[in-house]
Amino acid sequence: MSQNASLPPHVALSRRTLLAGAALGLAAAPLRQAAAAPETEMTVTEALRQRRSTRRFSDQPVEPALVAELLWAAFGVNRPETGLHTAPSWHGAADSMIHVASADGVSVYEPERDTTRQRHPGDIRQSLSPQPFVATAPICLLHISDLRRLSAAEDESQRPLYAQIDAAIVAQNVYLFAASRGLGTCLVGGMDRPGITAALGLEAHEYVAFVQPVGWPAQG
Ligand SMILES: Cc1cc2nc3c(=O)[nH]c(=O)nc-3n(C[C@H](O)[C@H](O)[C@H](O)COP(=O)(O)O)c2cc1C
């Protein structure tokens, strides 16, 4: 299966930039297509009906503007006055650092600015999981927790648990957004944590909670 580049190099995934640029006709064709909002937004109830795990993806890339929307849905700031997020977190720790791995490298989502910055130039999707379907998705989200933000935990050994709970809630946001737009996704606990840590050069406080491939479901 070919690994189509879903994201041009160094394109920050920002709803503000991508959607505004597309609306002004400044962006490339794929961005204009993605910026066309669905005529009727799916209800949460209908998205819950549609929610499922998808493990077969087509080669079609996911447009950057749609990835930007997905990242906001996952863990964007929904109350700018407080800086709080679309997903709850343990004691408001906001420890989730969503990384986006694609053919063009790995970028990390910055909720405060609602954009991404590049962290790694290479395609590390093959290093994420022993489950082959993971690397067939055009993008893979890495749910990485900043364990320093969970330092209020009385018992340090509890931090990975809270990290996984927080990440799982973010992942459900991804599931529901994906369902609402016809995208497929699957939460993956069976990842190669040492492989990811080595590939990205993660620091001790950066804990990989889950991997979550996202793409258009394969037909048939
Ligand atoms: C914590 C967690 C870890 C999971 N890990 C994997 C995994 O490693 N590989 C996989 O294919 N699916 C994984 N899944 C997805 C489940 O297999 C899936 O949700 C379940 O089969 C029910 O299917 P549904 O999501 O379509 O309802 C995981 C789900 C959860 C909640």
Indicate whether residue 51 lines ligand 1 (CB < 6 A).
no
The 10s digit of each residue's pLDDT in 74-96 is 999 999 999 999 999 999 999 99
**Dist. CA 190 → ligand 1 center (Å):** 9
**186 φ, ψ (degrees, to nearest 5):** -155, 130
Coil, helix or strand at residue 144: strand
Coil, helix or strand at residue 3: coil
Contacts of 37 (CB under 8 A, 6+ apart): none
**Dist. CA 45 → ligand 1 center (Å):** 21
Global pTM value: 0.89
The 10s digit of each residue's pLDDT in 125-140 is 999 999 999 999 999 9
Contacts of 158 (CB under 8 A, 6+ apart): none
**Dist. CA 50 → ligand 1 center (Å):** 15
Residue 25 has pLDDT above 70, yes or no: no
What are the structural domains, with CATH classification, of the chain? 15-215 (3.40.109.10)
DSSP line for 25-57? T-S-HHHHHHHS--SSPPPHHHHHHH------B
Percent of the chain surpassing pLDDT 70:
86
